[in-house]
Structure 1
Amino acid sequence: MPSTSTTSIRRARTGPQPSPLWPRGTFRSLTYRDMPIALAPNLWRRLGGGNRRSQGPREWVHVDRPLVDADSPEGLEEVFWRIFDGQCYVAADHLAPHRPDAETLLRYQACIGAMLAADEGRKRHYLSKNNNAILRLDSVRQALPEAVILIPVRLPTAHAAALLRQHRNFLKQQDEDGFVRCLQERALDRTLRPRDPGRAGTLGT
């Protein structure tokens, strides 16, 4: 199926890349409107949950990209990989190169198919923005042979400065807001303890 994937290491400016494509209306991506049931887009559409979100544009938590709203593309497809194959690439202190098996790739294709079907055929091109896709580029190419993969690269000095800026940004947010500190501690704990794939549900409901 036609698809475009933008991926790179953190702070490499993958975020703004889909923007010129997105307004054309032919691309389907996971957005904040698909939360909290990102892997069941048809069910969420039938429940009408996503359609109730009318939040206007607001500043992103990283304060370094254009304003975002409920329809902004986000790397939510990583939820799929964490649930179905997290134990294969999430280590205690790093993320390892990821080579999902054939069954997992078929599930991934089914997930994308469900996303496209949720829009009743109006959008036929899948658009992915996921930094962690760089861990599994060969597998993405295998699952989506028609995919165009974009890998932004920044000047090393600018990239290092962006990482330092975000480190200071989140240190400040944690000092000023206990909720942010608690949320990040919980997110880190869950990242280092991937879910048992035996408990995973069914896609495309």
Structure 2
Amino acid sequence: MTSTENTTASYSGMDRLLHRLAFAGFPLQLALADMEDRLFAADLAESRPERPVFIAGLPRAGTTHLLNILAASEQLATNSYRDMPFVLAPLIWDRFSRAFRKTAALRERPHGDGMAVGYDSPEAFEETVWLTFWREKYSEDSISLWTDEDRDPEFETFFARHMAKVVALRSREGGIQTQANRRYLSKNNSNIARLRLLPEIFPDCRILVPFRDPLSHAQSLHRQHSRFQKIHADDPFARRYMASLGHFEFGADLKPISFDKLPGDKLPGSPDRPIFWLSYWIAVHEAFAALDRESLVFIDYADLCGRPLRSLESLAETIDIDCTEAMRAEATRVHAPGTYDLPDDPDFETLLPTAQALYGNLKCKARTLLPIQ
């Protein structure tokens, strides 16, 4: 298997070797990406990163559900697990790997949330692009915010070409929509650190920001962190695998994003306590609430679960895509997240009203969905 969210126990020795080769500092992938630009110049000439759609939110807020729904549209194109491990050169890797591709049944991902993934499941791996070009943003303990002044022409050119390559690859596989009618779709939780920069780079983008009630969300984050701490302790390869892809949301290499009000290295308590994750939820969502950008679309996960078809129709209109039967079928598979009792922690109970008030404010922001002009 080649996926961050499948267990790595099934990886063969060749799988592990390819992964180490692909992510050994990224020079090989960058060289292949440059070669790819020349080899597939004609394909890329037809593809433009117009009106990209980014899904960005804290993990456990419904970002994967949103990705699965929108990826069912023939108008959007995103990565799949087959693009691993040479994610920066997807066209070359696709041509090379076709000779030994495997088929595999879906299997539950290690999150223990009942979601099953396989080689052809959608997933965006673009954090590798950011990690390659912005190493200085990733410290030992946290990830710094990007501002609207963090412009880098070399990065922006590479990122636009990468998006075009994903669109070209998915279009070639589908054989239905032309590249001109397809748009790039991304799910990247870490893009919550770039909500000011992305609209500067892509003025016509839409950024979908799902959110979830703080009581259950904070405890779900806490549970996943504990789960991945054990996974990383039991399987060092799994830890290296996630770190090489820039997945620092949980586990041994946890790197909270340093929002201005509450930097990641100053969160109260230990990540082993729910109060840490509730404090982080507040820091993240206060930053969300302070943003007033037309490109941002806030989505209450409770509405998506409770009224999936109505929410989907509104969302499709907002991002200007057709609402297909495949998307409707995927939307009906969305299930309500688990509920949690209040933890036995006085600090958590004291802080919860602040989080709940903020949640109410975000629910009001989520009621305004505007179509792209």
TM-score (norm 2): 0.46
Aligned equivalent of 1:63, options 112, 118, 143: 112
**Residue identity (%):** 30
Higher CA-based Rg: 2
- Cα distance in 1 for residues equivalent to 2:100 and 2:127: 23
Task: Measure how far apart 1:9 and its partner are.
Answer: 2.0
Matched AA of 2:157: L
Q: Which residue of 2 aligns with 1:96?
A: 144
- Cα distance in 2 for residues equivalent to 1:186 and 1:151: 26
Q: Which residue of 1 aligns with 2:162?
A: 111
Task: Measure how far apart 1:181 and its partner are.
Answer: 4.3
Q: Which residue of 2 aligns with 1:146?
A: 204
**Structure 1 residues 190 and 138: alpha-carbon distance in aligned structure 2, compared to 1, 3 A threshold:** closer
Q: What does residue range 1-205 of structure 1 map to in structure 2 within 5 Å?
A: 1-49=50-98, 52-87=101-136, 89-98=137-146, 99-118=150-169, 119-120=171-172, 121=178, 124-173=182-231, 178=234, 180-184=235-239, 187=242
**Structure 1 residues 51 and 112: alpha-carbon distance in aligned structure 2, compared to 1, 3 A threshold:** farther
**Structure 1 residues 50 and 91: alpha-carbon distance in aligned structure 2, compared to 1, 3 A threshold:** farther
- Cα distance in 2 for residues equivalent to 1:173 and 1:144: 37
| Structure 1 runs not aligned, ≥5 long | 193-205
**Structure 1 residues 72 and 154: alpha-carbon distance in aligned structure 2, compared to 1, 3 A threshold:** same
Task: Measure how far apart 1:100 and its partner are.
Answer: 4.4
Greater Cα shift, 117-126 or 146-155: 117-126
- Cα distance in 2 for residues equivalent to 1:133 and 1:58: 27
Matched AA of 1:183: A
- Cα distance in 1 for residues equivalent to 2:143 and 2:82: 28
- Cα distance in 1 for residues equivalent to 2:226 and 2:89: 36
Whichever structure has more helix as a proportion of its residues is 2
- Cα distance in 2 for residues equivalent to 1:188 and 1:81: 13
Q: Which residue of 1 aligns with 2:15?
A: none
User: Any idea what the Cα deviations from partners look like across 1:45-98, whole Å, max 9, x if unmatched?
Assistant: 2214498242221101112152111122224100111112222x1012100002
Greater Cα shift, 128-137 or 141-150: 141-150
Structure 1 SS opposite 2:72: helix
**Structure 1 residues 174 and 134: alpha-carbon distance in aligned structure 2, compared to 1, 3 A threshold:** closer
Q: Which residue of 2 aligns with 1:197?
A: none
Greater Cα shift, 157-166 or 51-60: 51-60
Give the root-mean-square deviation of aligned CA atoms.
2.6
Task: Measure how far apart 1:144 and its partner are.
Answer: 2.2
- Cα distance in 2 for residues equivalent to 1:67 and 1:73: 11
- Cα distance in 1 for residues equivalent to 2:103 and 2:244: 31
Greater Cα shift, 137-146 or 91-100: 137-146
- Cα distance in 2 for residues equivalent to 1:186 and 1:155: 31
- Cα distance in 2 for residues equivalent to 1:96 and 1:167: 20
Matched AA of 1:60: R
Contact kept? 1:33, 1:51, Cα under 8 Å: no
Task: Measure how far apart 1:173 and its partner are.
Answer: 3.8
- Cα distance in 2 for residues equivalent to 1:104 and 1:189: 19
Contact kept? 1:109, 1:143, Cα under 8 Å: no
Matched AA of 2:143: L
**Structure 1 residues 107 and 48: alpha-carbon distance in aligned structure 2, compared to 1, 3 A threshold:** same
- Cα distance in 1 for residues equivalent to 2:195 and 2:87: 22
- Cα distance in 2 for residues equivalent to 1:91 and 1:174: 20
TM-score (norm 1): 0.79
Aligned residues: 188
